[in-house]
Amino acid sequence: MKPLRKGVRLPDFKYRSLSGTQIHLPRPARFLTFFLKQSAVAPAIPCVHEGEAVFVGSKIAEASEWNSVPLHSSVSGKVTNIMEDRIVIESDEVDKLDPSIQARVEIPSEPDQLATLIHEAGVVDLGGKGHAIHVHLTEARAKKVETLILDGCESEPFLTADHVLMLNHPVEILKGAEILRIASGAERVVIAVEQNKLEALELLNSKNYNLKFERIKTAVLPVRYPQGSERALAESILGRPLKKGETALEAGILVESVASAFAVYEAVYLKKPLYERVMTVSGSSILEPKNLWARMGTQAADLIRACKGFMREPERVIFGGPMTGRSIAHLDEPVTKEVPGILAFSSELEMFGKEETCIRCGFCIDICPVSLVPEAIVKAIRQGQPDLAQTYEIDSCTECGLCAYICPSYIPMVDIIRKGKEVFKSEDSEREPVYAFSSRD
């Protein structure tokens, strides 16, 4: 094992939501909105009609493609509106479970069967961009991966959802890890945890002593961002840097998160679809930061209200962490499967200032964990030169956010690169200069 070569020790604000390790369950909101396109997967197709009654866990949209996943209701109630891109459900606040959700009598042992169950439950990568897990498992078997790494690092500041999940549900995570190992064809599992989560590590080790999953081990890594990224974890566990252009899968490693392992456990053992997840609500503007069982489709305002609301007016509200998350314009935006947290920052603690001209200091180059030249990529995007951006390997960018964090000119590099990727990959793009990307919001 080899520590992360580059990266930085970020200020620690995790204590705000770790005053207790309890995961709170708020009351369901009156109306919930489910986007048919969730993160990186293809849009789902509605399979309900307006006025139809649904239960908690009822399927409301079918997968449209192989790499898509179905959607399930997170409340019981009635479908009130079906639009082109979303389904709206009114909760009856009864929370009646779908009859199909019950403990499975016999657990399958065939990889294909397990992947099918995971697909039917709508499970996606809860630690990344929301890609469908069954796609990862199929690719892993095709590549004949040897090692499955479960990311328990959670190196983003403020976020503690994975931490409290490991503290409260270590047995379920271990069982989910074993299912993922079998379904991916991996020989071993390594659960990677940073040094600031040693109590979670001890719990996992002690529970595994009784479960006796001999192919599951744990590893302690330094507290350093972006330790939890796929490439950093692969290099740390392999003990060598990945070659240029080499992916973790090509190196024989599949990386998933502990949250995904927990969701897989519930899907296989309990027949429970992915309709809720643990989510951190924190930041300098939140009165009582907490970790919540957040139901998919719940508006940000409702989850913030469950934490006693704002104690000061926020300058910015983010879905995700401060390094890789995205700003939202309205508090009525609903959460989707890939959102690990909601952060609200006041103006006095806003981390970014007004953008200025690049002074070519080279800090972004020095800190980049994949040795790119972020300043040159940003320049190519703003000039509308996709070929030049490809020359500087824009697709190798992991969007960790360190370049924007370190930039003394407050250039929103990660936002520009992220949006630039979207523009350059669009078939209908006219390749115009992306001057609008100077705005962070």
| Full set of structural domains in the chain with CATH | 14-18+101-269 (3.40.50.11540), 363-438 (no CATH)
Helix (H, G, I), strand (E, B), or coil: what is residue 71? Answer: strand
Per-residue pLDDT for 352 more than 70? no
User: What span, in angstroms and rounded, lies between the C-alpha atoms of 435 and 382?
Assistant: 6
- Confidence band, pLDDT 50/70/90 cuts, at residue 350: low
Could you give the angle at the alpha carbon of 341 between the alpha carbons of 54 and 184, nearest 5°? 75
Residue found under tokens 């945890």: 193
What's the confidence (pLDDT) of residue 425? 74
106-118 pLDDT per residue, tens: 999 999 999 999 9
414-429 pLDDT per residue, tens: 989 988 988 887 644 4
Helix (DSSP H) and strand (DSSP E) numbers for the chain:
13, 17
User: What span, in angstroms and rounded, lies between the C-alpha atoms of 312 and 11?
Assistant: 21
Write out the DSSP string of 29-67.
Answer: PSEEEEESS-TTSPPPEE---TT-EE-BT-EEEE-SSTT
119 Ramachandran zone, left/alpha/beta (phi>0; psi -120 to 50): alpha
Q: Is there a contact between 377 and 412 (Cβ–Cβ < 8 Å)?
A: no
42-93 pLDDT per residue, tens: 899 999 999 999 999 999 999 999 889 999 999 999 999 999 999 999 999 9
Helix (H, G, I), strand (E, B), or coil: what is residue 216? Answer: strand
User: What span, in angstroms and rounded, lies between the C-alpha atoms of 277 and 263?
Assistant: 8
Alpha carbon 301 to chain centroid distance?
20
Contacts of 387-396 with CB under 8 Å at 24 or more apart are: 389/420, 389/424, 394/420, 394/421, 394/424, 395/421, 396/245, 396/370, 396/372
What's the confidence (pLDDT) of residue 246? 86
User: What span, in angstroms and rounded, lies between the C-alpha atoms of 188 and 216?
Assistant: 6
What's the confidence (pLDDT) of residue 108? 93
Tokens of 347: 């103006």
395-417 pLDDT per residue, tens: 889 899 999 999 999 999 998 99
Q: Is the pLDDT higher at 187 or at 438?
A: 187
Per-residue pLDDT for 158 more than 70? yes
CA-CA-CA-CA torsion sign (352, 353, 358, 360)? negative
Tokens of 318: 């983010």
Q: Is there a contact between 390 and 382 (Cβ–Cβ < 8 Å)?
A: no
Closest CA to 170 of 152, 182, 187, 188: 152
274-320 pLDDT per residue, tens: 999 999 999 999 999 999 999 999 999 999 999 999 999 999 999 99
Q: Is there a contact between 336 and 368 (Cβ–Cβ < 8 Å)?
A: no
What's the confidence (pLDDT) of residue 217? 97
Per-residue pLDDT for 435 more than 50? no
Per-residue pLDDT for 1 more than 70? no
Mean of per-residue pLDDT scores for the chain: 91
138-155 pLDDT per residue, tens: 999 999 999 999 999 999
* DSSP type of residue 197: G
Q: Is the pTM of this model over 0.75?
A: yes
Residue found under tokens 């990311």: 151
Tokens of 103: 């403990």
Per-residue pLDDT for 205 more than 90? yes
What's the confidence (pLDDT) of residue 441? 37
Q: What element of type H or E holds 207?
A: helix 198-211
Helix (H, G, I), strand (E, B), or coil: what is residue 391? Answer: helix
Alpha helices in 313-429 (DSSP H): 363-367, 374-382, 386-391, 402-406, 413-425
Amino acid letter, 389 = A
Closest CA to 325 of 283, 356, 264: 283
Q: Is the pLDDT higher at 8 or at 259?
A: 259
Tokens of 313: 């007016």
User: What span, in angstroms and rounded, lies between the C-alpha atoms of 170 and 176?
Assistant: 10
Q: Is the pLDDT higher at 56 or at 385?
A: 56
Q: Is there a contact between 127 and 256 (Cβ–Cβ < 8 Å)?
A: yes
